Structure 1
Amino acid sequence: MTKARFITFEGTEGVGKTTAIDGFCRHLEDLGIAYVRTREPGGADVAEVIRQMLLSKDSVLHDDTELLLMFAARADHLHKTILPALDAGKWVVCDRFIDSTVAYQGFGRFGGDKQALARIELLIEQFVPCLPDVTLWLDLDVATGMMRAKSRSQADRFESLDTRFFDQVYQGLAHQFAKHPNRIRRVDASGSVEEVAVRIRQAVGV
């Protein structure tokens, strides 16, 4: 149980990732497991600067630019935060990682185009030396999630996109789940906070 593990959380907007991660981190603390909590895009100094560019409504980015900025931020994040934490024997709990890139850029931006997905897979192979041990896909229908997201705060550059975009993102997450069934665990994100928390702990095995 003390061996370093890399756990990522994925989902469309409004599925309750932040609340779920809060609860999971408290559970790790109760178990006495040292961990680092982080996020993408972001999680390191340069990566956080790139995050602001990516999320700002003032940013006008070509889809290729957006994709490459995601990987630039990820490289900074990996080498400054994720890999050092794992090397130190700590768990890493990350809000979004490579599956979001496939879903948001590969499907949301490029519509699941096979050549675009191949480019993303190549970037993952070349620049991501560490894949998650477990990825938790918090699965909730897009319409419900968007209603939740709109009620909580001012929308960022991604959150302001239309339902069609997020339907494609959902398809991307389903694609990843089908492709990586041993790594990705689908977690029903409906129900109470505690019900979802129990499902997450069971999926991780802690």
Structure 2
Amino acid sequence: MSQPSPVQSGRFISFEGTEGVGKTTAIEHLCANLSAAGIDYIRTREPGGSDFAEQLRALLLDPATVIDDDTELLLMFAARCDHWHQRIRPALQAGKWVICDRFVDSTIAYQGFGRAQGDSAVLAKIEGLIAAFIPQLPEQTLWLDLPVAEGMARAGKRSSADRFEQEAIDFFTRVHEGFAYCAAKDSKRITRIDASGSPEAVATRIWQTLASQT
């Protein structure tokens, strides 16, 4: 079956980063700026974003879930495929901005590096799934970057940890390497954002980055 042609209207913006870098707060600031500018948008997330994908998210993040790495990877893409068709594509076709908390780069970082330690065969498998099932990558990806230990210290203040947040620092060090790999491979799409400093300072860096590429 042929893939649908890429959507041309709207803007597709994704946020990436390891645990505790402040993606949620940064997205809230961006959405406030978009509202103030009169820009129509939807805010969504991965895994999740559509009804079915949210069901898979609950399973994937549940600390009681025990699955192998291939099953985890395929569930991520099942959620993503439904998310694309049910929410992302319709919003872009309607001319809206899509602000997404995580997308394909998180799969490369978490499953390709965190789980598989950068194994070339696994990375090729992930790239193949992206090519087969994702018709369009984000127009711009903002990688919020902090030292891993600093981000984990922030995340450690949360009341509970999900299945991924319970991983050890070595896992997140590899995830960070994965995001750096993605940024080096696709430097035109991915912009590293210094996530240190106040939320307002980070929000300003993000807004200036997006404005410069309008």
TM-score (norm 2): 0.94
1:154-169 to 2 correspondences below 5 Å = 154-169=160-175
Counterpart amino acid of residue 35 in structure 2: E
- Does residue 144 (structure 1) correspond to residue 146 (structure 2)? The answer is no
Structure-1 residue corresponding to 2:46: 40
Map Cα deviations across residues 121-147 of structure 1 (whole Å, 9 max, x no partner).
000000000110000000000000000
- Does residue 62 (structure 1) correspond to residue 68 (structure 2)? The answer is yes
1:25-174 to 2 correspondences below 5 Å = 25-174=31-180
Q: Distance in 2 between matches of 1:66 and 1:138?
A: 24
Tell me the matched-pair count. 204
Q: Distance in 2 between matches of 1:110 and 1:204?
A: 33
Counterpart amino acid of residue 167 in structure 1: T
Backbone CA RMSD of aligned residues: 0.7
Q: Distance in 1 between matches of 2:158 and 2:34?
A: 27
Deviation at 1:11, TM superposition (A): 0.2
Structure 1 stretches of at least 4 aligned residues deviating more than 6 Å after TM superposition: none
Q: Distance in 1 between matches of 2:82 and 2:128?
A: 18
Unaligned segments of structure 1, at least 5 residues? none
Structure-2 residue corresponding to 1:9: 15
Q: Distance in 2 between matches of 1:45 and 1:195?
A: 34
Structure-2 residue corresponding to 1:191: 197
Q: Distance in 2 between matches of 1:99 and 1:181?
A: 13
Unaligned segments of structure 2, at least 5 residues? 1-8
Q: Distance in 2 between matches of 1:203 and 1:111?
A: 31
Deviation at 1:204, TM superposition (A): 1.0
Q: Distance in 1 between matches of 2:109 and 2:159?
A: 23
Q: Distance in 1 between matches of 2:67 and 2:136?
A: 28
Map Cα deviations across residues 148-188 of structure 1 (whole Å, 9 max, x no partner).
00102200000000000000000000000000000000000
Percent identical pairs in the alignment equals 61
Counterpart amino acid of residue 40 in structure 1: E
Q: Distance in 2 between matches of 1:99 and 1:170?
A: 11
Structure-2 residue corresponding to 1:177: 183
Structure 2 residue matching 1:147: 3-state secondary structure: helix
Deviation at 1:8, TM superposition (A): 0.2
Map Cα deviations across residues 3-40 of structure 1 (whole Å, 9 max, x no partner).
51000000000000000000000000000000000000
TM-score (norm 1): 0.98
Counterpart amino acid of residue 10 in structure 2: A
